[in-house]
């Protein structure tokens, strides 16, 4: 949240405090209240949505995660329609130990290309197995289709051609196709459901949520909550502790989803004179096609919609700047730019906001043709504009990096002076920027468990001529494990910035930030 002051509790609970120490605690509590107030302001929208839906449904959802909202609301209606209590519904689930995948593949899944037919053969011959100990057979298949490597499994299809910049022009266009609400549609359009919930009850309610959502604008809290229910329900199909758990329902959705997307791609490749697959990712794909053949692809989309019952959303992209399938910048038009993965600039408050300057500089480079060195050196005094949209300048905070120590790990500041080396133990949460004259940050980790070394292990280190089989004995030796260390931002010094300090000029190591920017640029332009 870019608070001026980041603090951990300065003393362990139960400590008898001196007057000076009490003053420190008071300061800590005041800062904690300020942070809580700021977090409340950031969360106010989500709190109001939960208040609204709590009153609407008669369910306390104030502190509910998105997954719990889906459970509680969906569960309320399912239990009512099934004529049982929600308590009884929560006990229901379908365990599976044997699934013939051929039994769940939709009858209209067909291929012409031999590569894709072999894929279908693989699924038709695969038997999924599991047991009560947590084991389940892993579905994994890969192939290459028109020079694109594909990965299939229990989730979505993922493929990627080559990093680069792809732009629409007078002759060619970047065309992005996406199935709308893919997993929910696959479920209720094909009458898929957990075995322990009657199909008519489940599908009617699931589809009802989708239909109802379309009646509300995006600003309406009901739209938000219904979206959560639709998207989270699939995740509950894999949760052994959820009342929607049924591996067969889950696999029927994901495997048919992969095959249907493969069909769509095959149709586009077969029916156009030129088609370059840029990527395929779960519910959609992006291609480079001839502009003159857009009508052919649009016709393909119509045919697929008729076959599957699922709408396809198509849009032309001005420019697709792509490192891989999960990390890219998609310039749809001047008013609509999608930043994905490492290229995100303004992330949700619960995500990592470290080194925001890096994402800004990369976007400036690819979209505004501004050299990264200009961005990182001039940013302190200027807001950034990308196609007229202003990205707020947070000053030094845009260069800061957050670090949170987990478990027993401890972050230390290593201070080297004429008197020697001193380690300053830091709190669990820290903020810093990479500097020229700072100190090294060292993460100290607890030792691994004591290593048990047998006499057999010792003998393995000997040459064969030194080993006598009769020397193998069961005498074990405990060896004390040592503390482990690793350097944060290896090769660079850092300046702690837990307490905000305004400087005319900060001791920023521009070389570090430039190198971080290059890590995101080079894979694309090489």
Choice between 64 and 481, residue whose per-residue pLDDT is larger: 64
Is the separation of the CB atoms in 166 and 289 below 8 Å? Answer: no
Question: Can you give the pLDDT at residue 269?
Answer: 98
Question: Residue 224 class from Cβ within 10 Å (0-12 exposed, 13-18 middle, 19+ buried)?
Answer: buried
As annotated, the residues of the chain forming the CATH 3.90.1600.10 domain(s) are: 98-196+246-324
Question: What's the chain's length in residues?
Answer: 526
C-alpha span between 131 and 150 (Å, rounded): 29
- pLDDT tens digits for range 401-422: 999 998 889 999 999 988 899 9
What pTM was estimated for this model as a whole?
A: 0.86
- pLDDT tens digits for range 23-57: 999 999 999 999 999 999 989 999 999 999 999 99
* pLDDT higher than threshold 70 for residue 209: yes
Nearest to 405 by CA among 428, 424, 433, 432: 428
Question: Can you give the pLDDT at residue 385?
Answer: 83
- pLDDT tens digits for range 254-276: 999 999 999 999 999 999 999 99
CA angle 43, 360, 398 (to 5 degrees): 60
C-alpha span between 491 and 12 (Å, rounded): 34
C-alpha span between 69 and 62 (Å, rounded): 10
> Where does the pLDDT of residue 351 fall: very low under 50, low under 70, confident under 90, or very high at 90 and above?
confident
Task: Give one DSSP letter per residue of 203-270, joined into a string.
Answer: HHHHHHHHHHHTTS-TTSHHHHHHHHHHHHHHHHTT-TTSTT--HHHHHHHHHHHHHHHHHHHHHHHH
C-alpha span between 456 and 473 (Å, rounded): 7
> Where does the pLDDT of residue 211 fall: very low under 50, low under 70, confident under 90, or very high at 90 and above?
very high
Mean pLDDT of 386-403: 90
Question: Can you give the pLDDT at residue 451?
Answer: 52
- pLDDT tens digits for range 475-526: 444 445 567 889 999 999 999 999 999 998 999 999 999 999 999 999 999 8
Q: Classify 314 as helix, strand or coil.
A: strand
C-alpha span between 313 and 181 (Å, rounded): 10
> Where does the pLDDT of residue 91 fall: very low under 50, low under 70, confident under 90, or very high at 90 and above?
very high
Q: Would you tell me how many other CB atoms lie within 10 Å of the CB of residue 383?
A: 11
Question: Can you give the pLDDT at residue 136?
Answer: 84
DSSP state, 316?
A: E
In three-state form (DSSP H/G/I as H, E/B as E, the rest C), the secondary structure along 361-400 is HHHHHHHHCCCHHHHHHHHHHCCEEECCEEECCCHHHHHC
Q: Would you tell me how many other CB atoms lie within 10 Å of the CB of residue 388?
A: 7
Is the separation of the CB atoms in 188 and 162 below 8 Å? Answer: no
Rg (CA), the chain: 28
- pLDDT tens digits for range 297-325: 999 999 999 999 999 999 999 999 999 99
Question: Can you give the pLDDT at residue 248?
Answer: 96
Mean pLDDT of 206-229: 93
* pLDDT higher than threshold 50 for residue 164: yes
* pLDDT higher than threshold 60 for residue 462: no
* pLDDT higher than threshold 50 for residue 465: no
In three-state form (DSSP H/G/I as H, E/B as E, the rest C), the secondary structure along 161-214 is CCCEEEECCCCEEEEEEEECCHHHHHHHHCCCCCCCCCHHHHHHHHHHHHHHHC
What is the token pair recorded at 17?
Answer: 């405090």
Question: Residue 251 class from Cβ within 10 Å (0-12 exposed, 13-18 middle, 19+ buried)?
Answer: buried
Residue 61 φ then ψ, to 5°:
-115, 10
Angle between the 221-236 and 182-189 helix axes, to the nearest 10 degrees? Answer: 70
Question: Can you give the pLDDT at residue 480?
Answer: 52
Nearest to 116 by CA among 264, 256, 262: 262
Task: Give one DSSP letter per residue of 440-489, joined into a string.
Answer: EEEEEEPPPSPEEEEHHHHHHTS-GGG--GGG----EEEEPPPPEEEEET
Is the separation of the CB atoms in 464 and 437 below 8 Å? Answer: no
User: Within the chain, how many helices (H) and strands (E) appear?
Assistant: 13, 24
Average pLDDT of the chain, as a whole number: 90
CATH class of the domain comprising 98-196+246-324: alpha beta
Is the separation of the CB atoms in 510 and 377 below 8 Å? Answer: yes
What is the token pair recorded at 18?
Answer: 């001196």
What is the token pair recorded at 2?
Answer: 């870019």
> Where does the pLDDT of residue 455 fall: very low under 50, low under 70, confident under 90, or very high at 90 and above?
very low
């Amino acid at each position: 949240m870019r608070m001026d002051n980041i603090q951990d509790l300065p003393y362990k609970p139960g400590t008898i405090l001196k007057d000076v120490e009490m003053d420190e605690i008071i300061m800590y509590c005041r800062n904690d209240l300020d942070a809580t107030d700021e977090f409340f302001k950031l969360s106010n929208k989500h709190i109001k949505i939960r208040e609204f839906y709590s009153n609407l449904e008669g369910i306390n959802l104030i502190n509910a995660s998105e997954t719990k909202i889906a459970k509680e609301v969906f569960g309320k209606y399912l239990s009512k329609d099934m004529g049982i209590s929600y308590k009884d519904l929560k006990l229901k689930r379908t365990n599976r130990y044997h699934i013939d995948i051929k039994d769940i593949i939709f009858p209209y899944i067909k291929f012409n290309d031999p590569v894709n037919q072999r894929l279908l053969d693989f699924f038709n011959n695969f038997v999924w197995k599991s047991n009560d100990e947590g084991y389940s057979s892993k579905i994994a298949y890969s192939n290459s289709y028109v020079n694109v490597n594909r990965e299939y499994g229990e989730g979505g299809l993922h493929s990627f051609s080559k990093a680069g910049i792809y732009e629409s022009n007078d002759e060619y266009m970047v065309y992005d196709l996406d199935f709308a609400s893919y997993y929910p549609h696959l479920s209720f359009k094909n009458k898929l459901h957990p075995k322990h919930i009657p199909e008519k009850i489940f599908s009617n309610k699931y589809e009802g949520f989708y239909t109802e959502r379309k009646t509300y604008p995006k600003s309406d809290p009901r739209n938000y909550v219904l979206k959560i229910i639709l998207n989270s329900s699939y995740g509950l199909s894999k949760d052994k502790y959820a009342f929607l758990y049924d591996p067969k329902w889950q696999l029927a959705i994901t495997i048919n989803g992969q095959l249907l997307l493969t069909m769509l791609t095959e149709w586009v490749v077969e029916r156009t004179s030129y088609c370059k697959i840029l990527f395929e990712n779960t519910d959609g794909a992006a291609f480079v096609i001839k502009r003159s053949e857009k009508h052919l692809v649009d016709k393909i989309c119509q045919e697929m919609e008729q076959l599957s019952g699922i709408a396809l959303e198509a849009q032309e992209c001005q420019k697709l700047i792509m490192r891989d399938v999960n990390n890219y910048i998609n310039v749809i038009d001047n008013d609509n730019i999608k930043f994905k993965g490492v290229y995100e600039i303004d992330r949700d408050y619960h995500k990592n906001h470290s080194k925001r300057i890096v994402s800004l500089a990369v976007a400036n480079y690819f979209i505004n043709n501004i050299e990264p060195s200009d961005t990182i050196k001039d940013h302190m005094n200027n807001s950034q504009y990308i196609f007229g949209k202003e990205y707020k300048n947070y000053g030094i905070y845009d260069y800061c990096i957050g670090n949170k120590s987990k478990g027993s790990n401890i972050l230390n500041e290593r201070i080297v002076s004429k008197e020697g080396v001193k380690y300053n133990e830091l709190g669990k949460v820290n903020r810093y920027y990479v500097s020229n004259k700072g100190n090294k940050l060292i993460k100290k980790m607890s030792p691994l468990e004591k290593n048990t070394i047998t006499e057999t292990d010792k003998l393995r280190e000997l040459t064969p001529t030194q080993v006598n089989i009769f020397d193998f004995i069961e005498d074990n030796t405990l060896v004390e494990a040592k503390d482990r260390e690793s350097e944060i931002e290896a090769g660079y010094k850092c300046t702690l910035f837990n307490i905000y300090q305004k400087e005319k000029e900060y001791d920023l190591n521009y070389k570090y930030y430039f190198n971080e920017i290059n890590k995101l640029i080079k894979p694309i332009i090489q």
